[in-house]
């Protein structure tokens, strides 16, 4: 009975993560449309302004109910600021890249992030890299090569190549974001994460918005507003899930985003998924799963034990 209850409880974070990733993928499509209309910088700035306005009454209500202070501890505030700065640059590069790259293809290229996170952990945390991680890396890089090869043909523009490079750089930053995401979720609630990330990105982008923050018209504002709602919902769902499950359980679920990205790209922009993209995503996902596999089973204490 207790085992069945633990199994059901373990499914909740997985379900919340899947819902959050679906919301994020739809938001990517909405933000691609907004970036085409007003530019990636302006779209991201206004989305976070709307997100901060949306989350302010939620944050005030929660803090009043909990009876806590309006600001978290300085160490947690620095963590929010660090992830916001990282997420801001990461998202700008990604949305700029999607203007010149099909959404499903952009999502496929971003899937190398969990693999990069392995090597970042080795570099900064002193973790050893297993032989299977190296093999998986080669497989995933082959997948990137398959997708990238199509970008250098005569029928592709320089902007398509630049878009691909922007998305790959964004993937490196996203790998760092994955590390911060788990740490942040352990010390802050989902409402706090969503509020401060929206607020800090808006503040960090505000100086540049004087020149780049094009004032959206009514239709563009509605589009960005929808993106803000989807982003806030995603942040809260995923923040809730990462506070209750290990990253190694939830990170592989990132690959389900490809399904949603392909669907959104087809419905909103008429983007067909090519065989080259499918072959590339299979190699990337397979390589990442090989690299991050732990070969463990749950022990009696709920922690992984050698199989």
Assigned domain for 201 exists? yes
Assigned domain for 307 exists? no
Assigned domain for 150 exists? yes
Q: What percent of the chain has pLDDT over 70?
A: 83
Separation of alpha carbons 139 and 112, rounded Å: 11
Q: What is the pLDDT of residues 179-210, one digit of tens each?
A: 787 788 888 888 888 899 999 999 999 999 88
Assigned domain for 97 exists? yes
Assigned domain for 199 exists? yes
pLDDT, greater one: 121 or 14: 14
pLDDT at 306: 29
Q: Is 116 helix (H, G, I), strand (E, B) or coil?
A: helix
Q: What percent of the chain has pLDDT over 90?
A: 32
Assigned domain for 44 exists? yes
Assigned domain for 164 exists? yes
Question: Domain span at residue 68?
Answer: 2-301
Separation of alpha carbons 222 and 34, rounded Å: 10
pLDDT at 300 over 50: no
User: How confident is the model over 46-72, as a mean pLDDT?
Assistant: 86
Q: What is the pLDDT of residues 84-134, one digit of tens each?
A: 999 999 999 999 999 988 898 888 888 787 777 777 766 665 656 667 767
Whole-structure pTM value: 0.79
pLDDT at 60: 85
pLDDT at 73: 85
Neighbours of 69 (CB within 10 A): 8
Number of domains in the chain: 1
Separation of alpha carbons 285 and 115, rounded Å: 10
Q: Is 153 helix (H, G, I), strand (E, B) or coil?
A: coil
pLDDT, greater one: 82 or 1: 82
Assigned domain for 306 exists? no
Separation of alpha carbons 21 and 15, rounded Å: 10
């Amino acid at each position: 009975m207790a085992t069945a209850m633990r199994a059901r409880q373990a499914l909740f974070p997985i379900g919340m993560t899947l819902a959050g990733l679906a919301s994020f993928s739809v938001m990517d499509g909405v933000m691609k449309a907004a970036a085409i209309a007003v530019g990636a910088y302006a779209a991201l700035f206004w989305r976070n302004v709307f997100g901060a306005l949306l989350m302010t009454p939620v944050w005030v209500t929660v803090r009043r109910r909990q009876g806590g202070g309006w600001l978290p501890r300085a160490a947690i505030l620095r963590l929010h600021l660090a992830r916001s700065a990282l997420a801001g640059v990461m998202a700008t590069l990604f949305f700029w890249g999607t203007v010149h790259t099909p959404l499903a293809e952009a999502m496929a290229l971003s899937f190398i992030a969990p693999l990069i996170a392995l090597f970042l952990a080795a570099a900064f945390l002193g973790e050893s890299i297993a032989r299977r991680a190296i093999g998986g890396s080669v497989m995933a890089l082959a997948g990137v090569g398959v997708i990238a090869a199509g970008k250098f043909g005569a029928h592709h523009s320089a902007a398509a190549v630049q878009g691909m490079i922007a998305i790959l750089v964004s993937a490196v930053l996203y790998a760092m974001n994955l590390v911060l995401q788990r740490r942040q979720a352990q010390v802050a609630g989902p409402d706090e994460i969503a509020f401060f990330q929206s607020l800090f990105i808006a503040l960090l982008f505000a100086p540049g918005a004087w020149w780049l923050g094009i004032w959206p018209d009514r239709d563009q504002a509605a589009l960005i507003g929808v993106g803000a709602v989807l982003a806030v919902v995603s942040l809260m769902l995923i923040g809730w899930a990462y506070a209750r499950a290990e990253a190694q359980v939830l990170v592989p679920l990132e690959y389900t985003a490809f399904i949603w990205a392909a669907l959104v790209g087809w419905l909103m922009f008429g983007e067909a998924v090519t065989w080259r993209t499918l072959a590339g995503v299979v190699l990337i996902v397979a390589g990442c799963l090989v690299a991050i596999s732990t070969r463990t089973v749950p022990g009696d204490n709920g922690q992984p034990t050698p199989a």
